[in-house]
Amino acid sequence: MNGLNGLNCLNGLSHLASFSPNLVSFYGDMEYKSIKEWPEDERPRERLLRYGAQGLSTAQLLAVILGTGGKNKSAVELGREALSHFRSLKGMEDASVSEFSDLKGIGGAKVAQMKAAFELGRRLLQEEASHSLQNPSFRNSREVYEYYRPKFYGLKKEKFLCSLLDTKNRVFREISVSDGTLSSSPVHPREVFKYAIKESAASVLFVHNHPSGDPTPSLDDMDITKRLVETGKIIGIHVLDHVVVSDGGYVSIMEKGYI
């Protein structure tokens, strides 16, 4: 590279850096600048207040939550590194506190801030679901999944719900029958139907989750479903469906032909 070309190259890098402060930390011969030194219109917090949260990238939103960066690293760069490390927001949400230790610049306080933000988002989903419909009725398993998914979102253990329905197939009460382990939720027909009998339910709908993300029914799921259906026939309470939900989808045991 001759002298003139070298000078043009350096001028080009300086010109590029003036438009994108994030690039400053990339070049070893340039001084690192914190977000406070960025043009105001490029700072994530100021952009959020001016344009709204929807105008920010995921890394910028994470930067607002993180608050500060690390050594020679902005909060935006920390956000990008976390996304790259865990591959997605869901991966970050599911990660344990200890799994963040590989990321320099993200200590306990920052992990707590992110975990709190994820939990607020999960509670918002649950709140919206609880107020979306009063006494809902369902035409198909897709509607069951869309209604109940927020109630199960992010749970680390299996949970088994029994929805009690009236003669018009409207849900009038939901019973949490069992909170289980990572891979199972013990259910006994006696515990399930005692609520249905007490409340004079015309039919019941069962919903439970698979924290693994795979909604494929297990052999235990199939066995308990058959037992519940048989018990319902004996006492005269119809089992409409048993839907297995996960963050990745759902399976209707009825639509699979097992009820």
Q: Which amino acid makes up residue 99?
A: E
The whole-number pLDDT of residue 70 equals 85
- The answer, yes or no, to whether residue 210 has pLDDT greater than 60, is yes
> pLDDT (tens digit, 9 = 90+) per residue, 47-58?
999 999 999 999
Q: What's residue 191's pLDDT?
A: 85
Q: What is the mean pLDDT of residues 222-226?
A: 92
Farthest CA pair distance, the chain = 93
Model pLDDT for residues 156-188, shown as the tens digit of each residue: 889 999 999 999 889 999 999 888 655 556 788
Q: Quick one: pLDDT at residue 135?
A: 74
Is residue 2 within 8 A of residue 9, CB to CB? The reply is no
From the centroid of its chain, how far is CA 121? Answer: 8
Domain ranges for the chain: 34-123, 136-252
Entry pTM: 0.62
- Please report the pLDDT score of residue 75 as a whole number: 93
pLDDT at position 184 is: 59
* Model pLDDT, residue 185: 61
Task: List, in sequence order, the alpha helices (H) in 67-178.
Answer: 75-86, 89-94, 108-132, 141-152
Are 118 and 86 within 8 A, CB to CB? Answer: no
The predicted pLDDT at position 16 comes to: 38
Read off the pLDDT of residues 92-112 as tens digits, 9 standing for 90 and up.
Answer: 988 999 999 999 999 999 999
- For 20-57, b/e burial (b = at least 16 CB within 10 A) is ebbebbeeeeeeeeebeebeeeebbeebbeeeeeeebe
Q: CATH topology for 136-252?
A: Cytidine Deaminase; domain 2 (3.40.140)
pLDDT value at 155 more than 50 = yes
Question: Looking at 141-227, which runs of residues are DSSP E strands?
Answer: 159-165, 171-179, 203-209
% of the chain beyond a pLDDT of 90 = 56
Torsion angle (degrees, nearest 10) of CA 128, 129, 132, 134 = -130
The mean pLDDT of the chain is 83
What integer pLDDT is reported at residue 201 of this predicted model? 96
pLDDT at residue 72 in the model: 86
* Contact call for residues 192 and 162 (beta carbons, < 8 A): yes
